[in-house]
Chains A and B, each alone.
Chain A
Amino acid sequence: MFNTIATILWKDLKIEWRTREAISAAFVFSVLVLVIFNFALDLNTTEARRLGAGFFWVAFAFAGVLALNRSFALEKQDGCVRALLLSPADRGGIYAGKFLANVIFMLITQLLVLPLFIVFFDVAVTGGFGILLLVFLLGSIGFSAVGTLFSAVAANTRMRELMLPILLLPVSIPLLIAAVETTAYALGAETEVSMWFKLLVVYDVVFVTTCFLSFEYVMEE
């Protein structure tokens, strides 16, 4: 099982290293969302500081969908999925490998967007950089847990690219609310933050388990 996870993870990372498609697309898309928000709302500095956390996660949610869509569309090409299924690889291992790869892609995207976000919206990470990193990690885990499963589901439908956001975004609402609140705290807002962290952790645990267990049903021919 750990072998499978490592192999799948390594494969996805290698593909990404060579093509740089998922991360670059997600990065450019996030930047575009931030720029468009700026034009659409024409914010002054105070407003931008107050609303920044929300913008960041909106950009990230849409960019994340973009990257996740590729996760299984890639496997569908040239019948790679069938080969994976024919191999004695454990289904849970396939899920875990792809899930970890997606978590890494998302973290990298977030870290790339962060400096631009700080510059554009003139925010300061007064609540602590460590807290912000923790939020990024917990947010990426939750979003990828459901996202990886739904990416596999969407890859089986007739309108792949459209199905993923429609399935994923409503289910991610609790995660996004908690992520926005905790990010706002890291950016210096005074909120009661401990329960939001608890919610992030609970969301991650619940969905990593549920999605891990249901993945084998999605991956049958």
Chain B
Amino acid sequence: MNEKNMSKNRVYNIALLAIVIVMMAIAHYMIFFYAPIEREMGIVQKIFYYHVPLAWNSFLAFGVVFFASFRYLATRDRKWDIRALAAAEVGVLYTTLVLITGPIWAKPVWGIWWTWDARLTLTLVLWLIYVAYLMLRHYVDNPEKRATLAAVVGIVGFVDVPLVYFAIRWWRTQHPQPVIAGGDDSGLDPMMRTTLYFCFFTFLALFHLLYRRRVAVEQLTDEVEHLNAGEAE
């Protein structure tokens, strides 16, 4: 990377960081002051503005893993492998947060920590698939081998997502489940909806920031390894 590109990059990174901070501040203002308090669930419902946008973003992240894996197998360009890794890590982080915020929300509202609801279960299965993906990367030493194997798992794992979703949905319709008051999208107040969408974009910006930083770290690691290898000769 040349000097000019690097400084350009730095400006972009700082600008991005600033945008994320400002958006986060606005998002939290909207969550706690702009959006009305939900009539039945009360203040607890505020966790909705974290839970749902994080879930949407994590699906997006796993889509990026799929696309990058596909591109890697087609081009064998290390850059796609790095992109898949960065997206998978952010995706796992986001799904972890979804799985933590879910029960915190469910307990006071539904009276239970966990329900095998279609969306919640899908998130759990996705988490398991992509944790396995990251573990696999960890246990292969040869970088090219690692990239190829990970790409294959990244593709197979994503192909599985619609099947998991339909299987769990049908399974749910057959088995009794607790009555859920006020489903996610049932007649959402316009102010709540605006807040929800704004939060989605805020977490999307954070995703972009984390993703870029992770890619940069991986590139630096490559560079260090490259320099070490040069020195050894």
Contact = CB atoms under 8 A, between A and B. Distances in A.
A120 interface: no
A171 B152 contact: no
Interface in B179-216: none
B171 A181 contact: yes
Interface residues of A, number: 34
Interface residues of B, number: 29
Nearest to A174: B167
A191 interface: yes
A150 to B, nearest CB: 8
B11 interface: no
A53 to B, nearest CB: 13
A128 B140 CA distance: 46
Contacts, number: 84
Interface string A149-166: 110010011110001001
A167 interface: yes
Given A181-B171, A199-B166, A217-B148, A159 B156 contact: no
Interface string A54-77: 000000000000000000000000
Given A171-B156, A191-B174, A199-B170, A158 B141 contact: yes
Contacts of B151: 217
B174 A173 contact: no
Nearest to A192: B174
Interface stretch (B31-39, B82-90, B131-139): B131-139
Nearest to A203: B163
Nearest to B171: A177
Contact of A218 (B149, B160, B167, B174): B149
Tell which of A146, A174, A203 has the most Cβ of chain B within 10 Å: A174
Contacts of B145: 156
B125 interface: yes
Interface string B152-167: 1101110110011011
A41 interface: no
Given A158-B141, A181-B171, A170 B148 contact: no
A71 to B, nearest CB: 16
Interface in B69-114: 73
B166 A156 contact: no
A210 B140 contact: no
Contact of B125 (A170, A196, A218): A170
A153 B140 CA distance: 10
A116 interface: no
A214 to B, nearest CB: 5
Nearest to A210: B159
Contacts of B140: 156-158
Nearest to A199: B167
Contacts of B174: 181, 191-192
Contacts of A159: 139
A174 B135 contact: no
Given A170-B129, A220-B148, A211 B167 contact: no
B220 to A, nearest CB: 25
Give the 9 A-B CB pairs with smallest separation, nearest first: A174-B167, A170-B128, A157-B139, A174-B163, A158-B139, A177-B167, A170-B129, A214-B152, A166-B132
Given A158-B141, A173-B125, A207-B156, 11 more contacts: A146-B156, A156-B149, A157-B139, A159-B139, A163-B136, A170-B132, A174-B163, A174-B168, A191-B174, A199-B170, A217-B148
24 contacts: A146-B156, A153-B152, A156-B145, A157-B140, A158-B140, A163-B139, A166-B135, A167-B132, A169-B128, A170-B128, A170-B129, A171-B156, A171-B157, A173-B125, A174-B168, A181-B171, A199-B166, A199-B167, A206-B163, A207-B156, A207-B159, A210-B155, A211-B156, A217-B152
